[in-house]
Structure 1
Amino acid sequence: MDLEDTLLMMPGPVTVTPRVLRAMSKPMINHRSAEFAGIYTDCREILSSIFQTKNDIFVLSGSGTAGMEAAVGSSVGSGDKVVAIENGKFGERFKDIAAIYGEVVPVVFEWGQPVNLEVVKEKLEEGAKAITLVHNETSAGILNPAAEIGKLAKKHDALFIMDGVTSLGGDDVKVDEWGVDIAVVGSQKCLAAPPGLSVVSVSEKAFEVMKDVTKRPYYNDLLAYKKSGDKPKAETPYTPAIPLFYALQEALHIVKEEGMEARIKRHRVLSEAIRAAVAELNIEMFPQLNEYSHYSNTVSAMKAPTDVTGEDIKSDMKARGVIIAGGQERLKNKIFRIGCMGNVTGRDVLSTIQQLEIVLNKHGYIDRLGAGVEAANRVLDRA
């Protein structure tokens, strides 16, 4: 099947619009010029409203993981304790990055299980320089309690470092209100730009802490980004991926045109439609929730039905032109995941559910078609 006819319904990378694709074809410019400074400044201003922050914003040429490493490596030194919360693959990644730069205090829950705030509180009471959290754990489809973790971090005077890679731009994220000292987002998720950039917001408190860290990363040193970003003509410390900056600027203009309130509502409605459809098809959601945790509004993770693996569903959907995701590592074959990030539409969701029903019918799990599509459509009609 032609790639242009493929429907990307995975948790990133997401489909980018023709406007964004065209933006990448602009001529190269001097990355130390007023032209680039204008692009960078425009991006940072729009991103500030998306992050809901007055903190400094930087754009790094590197994926979301580069932003995660910049956040930890710039603020954590040898011997510094970092409480690392894990309930999925990306929480594990944060934990692994923290182990390179400091001393990890792991707070580990089964992937897809909710965060127990009492356990987190106990670990913070033992003393820690920082705490890491993945706000939207896409590997398990669970939205973690960032506001509550922010309160605990403030109470115990720990830096709050948050991965918002798959929530910022698609869900309500209040960086300043929640007390997030360093927040990270990836370009290829809810912002609907191509992969290859990460955005990091940094508080004044975090900058003060960084000054005492003697072995920060070289390329991803956030103090270097601040020094360059504070120049009269804002720039990055090293050569940026200029075509990706063109794309990011255009993608952010699309976000601005839609409006964040409408964008967040759209993501929530689409994820609700997916959940309604799979419930009608007797497929169980994977994550377990408590009063502080919720289903993700940008990716839905479902348990694979009886006698069908998540990889079976993933490969059969691909053969039908719809790209979804399976489970990672220990969750492989056990779950499948459908993303609704970026500029996904109701029609995209209905097409995905239609193909999912055909696949489930092929495997003998359902005996009639249409119930899932009808359930999803009812949600979309109400909205």
Structure 2
Amino acid sequence: MELEDTLLMMPGPVPVAPRVLRAMSKPMINHRGSEFAAMYDDCREIMADVFKTKNDIFVISGSGSAGMEAAVGCTLGSQDTAVTLENGKFGERFKSIASRYGKVNPVKAEWGHSFDLDEVERKLEEGAKILTLVHNETSAGILNPAKEIGKLTKKHDALFIMDGITSIGGDDVRIDEWGVDIAVTGSQKCIAAPPGLAMVSVSERAFEVMKGMDRMPYYLDLKAYKKSADKESTQTPYTPAVSLFFALQESLHIVKEEGMDARIKRHTTEGAAVRAAMSALGIEMFPQLKGETRYSNTVSAMKAPEGVSGDDIKKDMKKRGIIIAGGQDQLSGKIFRIGNMGNVMPKDIMLTLQQLEVVLMKRGVISELGTGLEAASEVLDTLL
């Protein structure tokens, strides 16, 4: 199977539009010159609408994890405490990052299970400088209640740091309304650019906290990013990945052309279509929801059918030219995941589900074809 014919239906990286790939082939420019400054300003202006924020936004040449570490490393001192919320792989990553800079007081839930908000508040009452949350936990296909957690964080005067890496640009994310002090996203997810850039929004309140820090990261110093961005000719403090900035700008233009409301509706509808298909096929969703927690709208996580490994489903789909994801760590083999981030279109959803039905039929899970497709089609038709 040629790589050009492979359909990426995983939770990132995602398919990149040909015009974005072409943008990466532009000649190099002076990253301290006016042309780069204009490009960076353009990106930041569009991202303000994507993030729904009036806060400063910066772009770091590094993956989303670099943005996560910048957020924590610039605000958490060695004697400070972070309340870290964990119900999946990336919540655990936030805890690991925080533990290198200060103390951690984790709120743990089983992967794919909802947090106990009363426990969150109790941990905040014990004292915390920051709280970290993964909004959309792709390892388990669960969308955590950022709005409600933001209220608790504000009530207890802690900084709210949110990983929006797989929700910003594809789901309804309201940075200012939810009181998010530092929000992070990555280029290779809902923005649909190649991997390698982290976009970070930072509130004035967060910058005030940074003034009192006795030690900051070097490359990931957000104050340095602000200082460079505030220059007459907008810059990054260190050499940027110029080709990736070309790609980011083109990807953001695609986002702007579609419009954020339409983009959110498309992602939400496609996620609902996958869930409708799973219900029709008798495949159980993995997340266990309660309260304000929801299924992810950008990646669906399903329990592997009895007698079939999620990894087998993943391998069978790959043979058919479609890349989906399996489970990570303790969920290996127990679940399979289908992403619908970025520029994934309804036809891609239908093709993926059609091939999945064939795989499930050959594995003896279902006895006839078309049931899931029909259910998904009814949902996707609302986009026409």
Which residue of the partner structure matches residue 118 of structure 1?
118
CA deviations over 1:99-154 (Å, ceiling 9, x no partner): 00010001111000001100000000011000000000000000001001110111
Q: Percent identity?
A: 70
5+ residue gaps in structure 1?
none
Which residue of the partner structure matches residue 156 of structure 1?
156
5+ residue gaps in structure 2?
none
Which residue of the partner structure matches residue 306 of structure 1?
306
CA deviations over 1:26-68 (Å, ceiling 9, x no partner): 0001100000000000000000111111100000000000000
Which residue of the partner structure matches residue 347 of structure 1?
347
Deviation at 1:214, TM superposition (A): 1.9
Q: In structure 2, what is the Cα distance between the partners aligned to 1:381 and 1:41?
A: 38
Which residue of the partner structure matches residue 165 of structure 1?
165
Q: In structure 1, what is the Cα distance between the partners aligned to 2:116 and 2:352?
A: 34
Which residue of the partner structure matches residue 328 of structure 2?
328
Q: In structure 2, what is the Cα distance between the partners aligned to 1:216 and 1:136?
A: 28
The aligned runs of 1:140-151 (5 Å cut-off) are 140-151=140-151
Q: In structure 2, what is the Cα distance between the partners aligned to 1:170 and 1:334?
A: 27
Which residue of the partner structure matches residue 182 of structure 2?
182
CA deviations over 1:1-32 (Å, ceiling 9, x no partner): 00110110000000000010000000001100
Give the AA of the match of 1:234.
T
The aligned runs of 1:44-83 (5 Å cut-off) are 44-83=44-83
Deviation at 1:373, TM superposition (A): 0.9
Which residue of the partner structure matches residue 361 of structure 1?
361
Which residue of the partner structure matches residue 131 of structure 1?
131
Which residue of the partner structure matches residue 18 of structure 2?
18
Q: In structure 1, what is the Cα distance between the partners aligned to 2:289 and 2:165?
A: 21
Q: Tell me, yes or no, if structure 1 residue 216 matches structure 2 residue 179.
A: no
Q: In structure 2, what is the Cα distance between the partners aligned to 1:338 and 1:215?
A: 41
Which residue of the partner structure matches residue 104 of structure 1?
104
Query: Alignment partner of 1:190: what SS?
Result: coil
Deviation at 1:216, TM superposition (A): 1.2
Which residue of the partner structure matches residue 290 of structure 2?
290
Which residue of the partner structure matches residue 239 of structure 1?
239
Which residue of the partner structure matches residue 374 of structure 2?
374
Query: Alignment partner of 1:374: what SS?
Result: helix
Q: In structure 1, what is the Cα distance between the partners aligned to 2:267 and 2:205?
A: 32
RMSD: 0.6
Query: Alignment partner of 1:101: what SS?
Result: coil
Deviation at 1:211, TM superposition (A): 1.4
Q: In structure 1, what is the Cα distance between the partners aligned to 2:76 and 2:125?
A: 18
Q: In structure 2, what is the Cα distance between the partners aligned to 1:279 and 1:226?
A: 48
Deviation at 1:250, TM superposition (A): 0.2
Q: In structure 1, what is the Cα distance between the partners aligned to 2:380 and 2:176?
A: 32
Which residue of the partner structure matches residue 253 of structure 1?
253
Deviation at 1:382, TM superposition (A): 3.2
> Runs of at least 4 residues of structure 1 off by over 6 A?
none
Q: In structure 2, what is the Cα distance between the partners aligned to 1:47 and 1:198?
A: 12
Q: In structure 2, what is the Cα distance between the partners aligned to 1:260 and 1:60?
A: 23
Q: In structure 2, what is the Cα distance between the partners aligned to 1:368 and 1:344?
A: 27
Query: Alignment partner of 1:75: what SS?
Result: coil
Give the AA of the match of 1:113.
H
Scaled by the length of structure 2, the TM-score of the pair is 0.99
Give the AA of the match of 1:160.
F
